[in-house]
Structure 1
Amino acid sequence: MEANSLIQKPKKQKLNEEQGIDGNRKCFGNLPDVLLRHILSFLPIKDAVKTSVLSKRWEFLWTSNPNLDFGEHLAGKRMLLMNFVERVLYLRDSSDIKEFVLDFDVQFDASRVQSWITAAVRRNVQILNIRIRDLRGQFSLPRCVFTCETLTSLELAMPCIFKIPPIICFSNLKVLSIENVTFSDDYTTQQLLSGLPVLEVLYLEKCRWGCRKVLSISSPKLHSLTIIEADMHQPSDCQFMIFGAALKYFVYSGELFNEYCLYDSFSIESADFDVTCYGEWASDERARQVAYRGFKLLIAIPNVKDLRLYGNAYEVLAYAPELLPKMPIFNNLWYLKLGALNLECESLLKILQNSPCLETLKFLKIDPISDREKVDIILDPPPSCFSSHLTRIKFCCYDGKDLNAVKILLKKAIALDEIVISFEESVEKNLEMQENLYKQLITLPKGSQNCEITLK
C-alpha cells in the first residue's frame, strides 16, 4: 500500500463492535479508547495509520501514536516516504511524541527534514534518532534540538559537519550516539562532550575531530563509553582526556591514531579493545606509538572483570618490550576473550601471569606455533591461575590443523573442568573429520583428570 494513500483510502471494512469473539468475551472494538491507543503505540506507524479504515471510531485513534518510526518500511520509495511523513505530522494531534526515528535519503531536501525534526521537538520528543544519507548540500540540526529539555536519548548519523550552537541545554539527556560526523574546531564541541549533567551512555563512531589537539570527555554519571575510530587517511592525533569516575563499560576500536587517557577509571568492570592493523605498520616508530597508547589503556583498568582483546590489541605491545614489567595485576579479571590465541607472544603470557583469578579463557582462533621445538617450554612455568582458578576454556572456529596449543593448555591447566571446542564451517560439515579430531583430543595428556572435552 502506498504511503500517501494510507490516510485517504475509503473505508471498505467495518469493525463489528457489537458481536463478541466467542459469545462470552467482549470484542476488541469494545475496549476503551485509551487502551486501544496504547495497543496502537506498539505498531509501526504505517500499520497504525492503516487502522483508520476499520470504522469511524478508529479513524483518528492513530493520531496520538507516541512512536513515529519513518525509514526502512518504505526503502527505495523516497517520495512516498516524504509525503507520508508530512501527512502524518500534519494530521497528528497535539499530544507528546515519545520516539521519533528518521532513516532517510536527504538529497536536496534538507529544509523539509529540518522542519520534521522541529515538529517532533515542539511535541516534547524524548527519543530522537536521525540517520540521514545521500546528502547533497549542507545540513544542520535545528537549534531547538540543543535546548530540548525533554530529550533523554539522541542518536545521530550524519555525513556532514556537525554545527553546534553556543547554547546547549540537555538537562535530561542520558544517551548520546554520534556517528560519521565531522566536528568543528570551536569550543562548542568541548561543551557538548563535557556539559551533559546526567549523561550515562556515550557512543562515538567514525567521527572526525578536525585540527583539535586536546579534547576532554567528562560526565559525572557516565557509565558506558564506546569509541570507534574511522579509517583515517589524515589522522587527527588528538589527545582525549576521559574522566570516568562512574565508568563501568569502555569500548575502543581503531588504529590508535588518537591518544586516550583514562582518569579516575578504577570503576571500569568491562572493556573491549580492538586495535586494528591494516597491513604492516608504517614504521617501527609508529608501532611503538601504538604500543604505548595501547598500554596506557590497559594500565587504566586494573579492576576490570571482563576483558576482550581483538585484532592486535596485545600483540602490538611486543614493539615496546620495556613496558611489559610494568603491566598491572588484574586481580579481579575472571573472563578473558581473545580474537586470536598466540602462545608465543610475550605480552599475552604477561597478561595471563598477571591475572591470578582468571576463570574463563575464550578465543576465536589459534595462531599456529611456529617453533615446534619450543612446545614443551611454552607456559613453563604456567600462570598461577592455571593451577587455581582457570576452569573453562572455549575454542571458537577451530579448524583442527594445529593441536599444539590445545596440547599445551590441556597439560598446563590443572584446574580445568571443561574445554569446549566449536568448529569452523568446513569442519562442522565433516563428521568424519570431527570424529578423528575427537579421537586425537581425548588421547592428549591432561593436567586435570576432571577435565571434560566438549565438541559443539
Structure 2
Amino acid sequence: MHILSFLPTKVAVSTSILSKQWQFLWMWLPKLEYSSLRYCSAIGEFIDKYLPLHRSPVIERLKLSVEPIQPEDIKRWVDIAVSRCVRDLIFIIVQRIKIYFPAAFTPAIHDESLQGLLDICPVLEDLSVLLRGECSMGEISVIVPTLQRLSLSVSCSCYLDGYVIDTPSLKYLKLEDWNNSAHDVEIRDMPELREAYVDVVFFVLKSVIGSITSLKHLTICSEIPKRGWEDDVYGGGFVFNQLEHLELCVCKDNSSDLLGQLLKDSPNLRVLDIYHKGDTDMVCWNQPSLVPQCLLSSLQIFNWSGYFGRQQERDIAVHILKNACVLNKVTIFADIVQYSVPHLKMIKELAFSSRASSTCELVFVECPYEMFD
C-alpha cells in the first residue's frame, strides 16, 4: 500500500494483474488522481469501470485532469463526476477537489454541475477552481460550510457574471481575479480565516476587504486609483487587529498608497515583506501624517525583495527605519543591475539614515533582477 501511494492512479490500478496479493491493494488508496490529455472518455471509463470498486472509506484527494477538445467533452466529464463519483458511491467522502475549466467553456455547463458536485460532498475541506482561457460563464457559487482551503483563479480573458463565496469555516483563501470586465463579487463573512493571498483588480478588492479582517497573514497585490479610494474601500472602518504578517507587492499602480493604508490599519503587525514582481515604477511615496501604531510598538522584521534604490523606495525604507521603535532586523535584497544604482550608494543612503531602534540590524543582499520575477 505504501508503495502504491507514490504511483499515479492508472499505474496503481495496473498492478492488480501482478499477483493475487496485489489484486485489490489499489482499492484502498486514500488519494486518487487520474489524467488523460487526449480522451475525455478515458476518464469516464475510469469512473464508470474502476471507481465503483474502490473501498477506502475516505478519499482524501480526488483529482481528475483532462484537456478535451470540444466543449461537450467538458460537460461529459463534469456530469460524470457529479453522477458517478459520489451519488452512486454514497459511502465515499470527498475531502479535496481540484477543478480545471479550460477555454471554450460555455455558460450552460458549469452552474448546476459545479454546485451540484459541491452539494454532495458534505465534508469537503479543500477546493481549487481554475477558470482559464477565453471562457464565457454565468455566475458560479461556492457554498460549502465545511471548506477550509479555497483557491479561485479567474483569467483576464474569462468573462463571467460573477461569483459568490460562502465558506464560514475557511482558514485559507487564494483569490486571483484580474478580469476588468464588470462582474459581481459577493464574499460573505469568513470569521475563521487566518491566511489569504489576494491578487485582484481594484473593484474586486472592494468586495474582499471587509471579509478578511480576521486573518493573521496577508499577501496582497492590487492596483489602486490615484485619489479617493480610501473612503470607497474603507468606508466601513475596517481594521486588521489580528494581522501579524503582511506581504505586499509594489508593482501595481499606486501600491505605495496601499502600503500606507495597511500599515495604518494593522496595529499589531510584526513582519513586513515588500516585494516587486514586475517592471512598473512605483508612484511617489505619500508619507502618512501620523506614524502608524505598528511602527511604534510591534514591527520587528522588515524585508524588501527587488529593491532598486529609486527615490520613492528610499523614502519608504527611510520612513520605516526612522519610526519603527522595536525593529530588530531589516533585510534588503537589492537589485544591482536594473536601474544602475550603485550598490555602495544604496548601502550608504540607508545605513547612515536615522533609526528609531538602536538594536536594528541592517543587511544588504545583492541579487539579480531575475530572482524577483
Query: Structure 2-normalised TM-score?
Result: 0.76
Residue 267 of structure 1 is aligned with which of 179, 189, 192? 192
Alpha-carbon displacement from aligned partner over 1:188-225 (angstroms, at most 9, x marks no partner): 44333444311111211116885535x43222211111
Residue 148 of structure 2 is aligned with which of 223, 246, 256? 223
Is the contact made by 1:337 and 1:363 (CA closer than 8 Å) also made in structure 2?
A: yes
Q: Give how far 1:302 is off.
A: 1.9
Alignment map for 1:1-40 (pairs within 5 Å): 38-39=2-3
> Structure 1 271/318 Cα, relative in aligned 2: closer, same or farther at 3 Å?
farther
SS of residue in 1 equivalent to 2:152:
strand
Residue 166 of structure 2 is aligned with which of 230, 239, 243? 243
Partner of 1:198: 123
Q: Give how far 1:352 is off.
A: 1.5
Q: Give how far 1:419 is off.
A: 0.6
Q: Give how far 1:170 is off.
A: 8.2
SS of residue in 2 equivalent to 1:328:
coil
Is the contact made by 1:294 and 1:317 (CA closer than 8 Å) also made in structure 2?
A: no
What amino acid does structure 2 have at the position aligned with 1:146? V
Is the contact made by 1:51 and 1:62 (CA closer than 8 Å) also made in structure 2?
A: no
What amino acid does structure 2 have at the position aligned with 1:237? D
What amino acid does structure 2 have at the position aligned with 1:231? C
Residue 304 of structure 2 is aligned with which of 385, 395, 405? 395
Partner of 1:8: none
Rounded Cα–Cα distance in structure 1 between residues aligned with 2:122 and 2:20: 37
Is the contact made by 1:349 and 1:379 (CA closer than 8 Å) also made in structure 2?
A: yes
User: Given the alignment of the two structures, is residue 115 of structure 1 paired with residue 45 of structure 2, yes or no?
Assistant: yes
Is the contact made by 1:121 and 1:144 (CA closer than 8 Å) also made in structure 2?
A: no
Is the contact made by 1:274 and 1:309 (CA closer than 8 Å) also made in structure 2?
A: yes
Residue 97 of structure 2 is aligned with which of 176, 179, 191? 176
SS of residue in 2 equivalent to 1:326:
coil
> Structure 1 148/397 Cα, relative in aligned 2: closer, same or farther at 3 Å?
same
SS of residue in 2 equivalent to 1:416:
coil
Rounded Cα–Cα distance in structure 2 between residues aligned with 1:172 and 1:48: 21
> Structure 1 248/318 Cα, relative in aligned 2: closer, same or farther at 3 Å?
farther
Rounded Cα–Cα distance in structure 2 between residues aligned with 1:321 and 1:444: 30
Report percent identity of matched pairs: 20
- Paired positions, count: 345
Rounded Cα–Cα distance in structure 1 between residues aligned with 2:255 and 2:170: 33
Rounded Cα–Cα distance in structure 2 between residues aligned with 1:266 and 1:425: 43
> Structure 1 343/242 Cα, relative in aligned 2: closer, same or farther at 3 Å?
closer
SS of residue in 1 equivalent to 2:247:
strand
Q: Give how far 1:241 is off.
A: 3.0
Residue 264 of structure 2 is aligned with which of 340, 353, 367? 353
What amino acid does structure 2 have at the position aligned with 1:268? L
Residue 130 of structure 1 is aligned with which of 60, 64, 74? 64
Query: Structure 1-normalised TM-score?
Result: 0.64
Rounded Cα–Cα distance in structure 1 between residues aligned with 2:92 and 2:10: 32
> Structure 1 137/337 Cα, relative in aligned 2: closer, same or farther at 3 Å?
closer
Q: Give how far 1:244 is off.
A: 2.0
> Structure 1 317/117 Cα, relative in aligned 2: closer, same or farther at 3 Å?
farther
Rounded Cα–Cα distance in structure 2 between residues aligned with 1:450 and 1:383: 20
Rounded Cα–Cα distance in structure 2 between residues aligned with 1:452 and 1:195: 54
Mean CA deviation greater in 387-396 or 220-229: 220-229
Mean CA deviation greater in 173-182 or 111-120: 111-120
Q: Give how far 1:251 is off.
A: 1.6
Partner of 1:60: 19
Alignment map for 1:143-182 (pairs within 5 Å): 145-147=81-83, 172-181=93-102, 182=105
Residue 101 of structure 1 is aligned with which of 4, 18, 33? 33
> Structure 1 41/250 Cα, relative in aligned 2: closer, same or farther at 3 Å?
closer
Stretches of structure 2 that go unaligned for 5 or more consecutive residues are: 366-373
> Structure 1 317/307 Cα, relative in aligned 2: closer, same or farther at 3 Å?
farther
Partner of 2:245: 335
Is the contact made by 2:308 and 2:334 (CA closer than 8 Å) also made in structure 1?
A: yes
Q: Give how far 1:130 is off.
A: 2.5
What amino acid does structure 2 have at the position aligned with 1:135? I
Rounded Cα–Cα distance in structure 1 between residues aligned with 2:111 and 2:283: 52
SS of residue in 2 equivalent to 1:121:
helix
Rounded Cα–Cα distance in structure 1 between residues aligned with 2:166 and 2:91: 19
Is the contact made by 2:5 and 2:29 (CA closer than 8 Å) also made in structure 1?
A: no
C-alpha RMSD over aligned residues: 3.9
What amino acid does structure 1 have at the position aligned with 2:54? N
Alpha-carbon displacement from aligned partner over 1:137-191 (angstroms, at most 9, x marks no partner): 8422386643556x7xxxxxxxxxxxxx9x8968511112111253526644433
Rounded Cα–Cα distance in structure 1 between residues aligned with 2:358 and 2:68: 61
Asked which structure has the greater RCO (Cα within 8 Å, sep 6+), the reply is: 2
Rounded Cα–Cα distance in structure 2 between residues aligned with 1:192 and 1:306: 30
> Structure 1 145/64 Cα, relative in aligned 2: closer, same or farther at 3 Å?
farther
SS of residue in 1 equivalent to 2:142:
strand
Q: Give how far 1:355 is off.
A: 0.9
SS of residue in 1 equivalent to 2:303:
strand
Rounded Cα–Cα distance in structure 2 between residues aligned with 1:115 and 1:264: 40
Q: Give how far 1:102 is off.
A: 3.3
Q: Give how far 1:119 is off.
A: 2.8
Q: Give how far 1:445 is off.
A: 1.4
Partner of 1:441: 350
Q: Give how far 1:443 is off.
A: 1.1
For the pair shown, the structure with the greater C-alpha radius of gyration is: 1
Rounded Cα–Cα distance in structure 1 between residues aligned with 2:70 and 2:130: 22
Rounded Cα–Cα distance in structure 2 between residues aligned with 1:408 and 1:64: 67
Alpha-carbon displacement from aligned partner over 1:399-441 (angstroms, at most 9, x marks no partner): 23442322222112222111111134748xx9x9544533332
